[in-house]
Homo-oligomer: A and B are copies of this chain.
């Protein structure tokens, strides 16, 4: 089980400071959609250059032009690129095809997919690397979580790794670990913690011990 730090509400200098604090405890740094929108792919490039030993995920939430967007994110140094589960099959397939050429990985973000189980079964046949259940910011406001969705995709996904994102904090992590995803994505649970290094270290410990 791996740990991904999602950076959403920072500029590039703030991102570097944050990653520096927790780099020993995380596997993947996510350049979140708001950072990409604000700063462009330059954010991906600068973080990958500053932390070449970490994998960098570019959270593009691709909805169209899958091949082109994956090519550009690969040029910027992204190791993993996200595509939306609600996008056209051809968009996901185009993203996977380009990722294979570039030796990168594709994560499908299932945010707001209605038939999670059916769509995950379908997407799993496209050769994507990760399928991620995700309660968005706007969705979390409703108090929903993704455990049922994770269970649903684990029932049907045979090839892709599974990931879970959305509102995970240190006190909810044990429940997440029990649900046994391959990747846990944490944003505010680390960046909003009063001691970020402690929070990341504690999360890594729990993940490694499987508790």
Chain A residues at the B interface, C-beta cutoff of 8 Å: 8-9, 33-34, 36-43, 60-61, 63-66, 68-69, 72-73, 84, 86-88, 90-91, 94, 111-112, 136-139, 141-142
Contact = CB atoms under 8 A, between A and B. Distances in A.
Contacts of A68: 9, 34, 137
Contacts of A86: 63, 84, 86, 112
A27 to B, nearest CB: 23
A37 B36 contact: yes
* Copies of this protein, total: 2
Given A64-B138, A84-B63, A91-B138, A40 B34 contact: no
A141 B90 CA distance: 9
Contact of A40 (B42, B66, B91): B42
B69 A37 contact: yes
Contacts of A41: 37-38
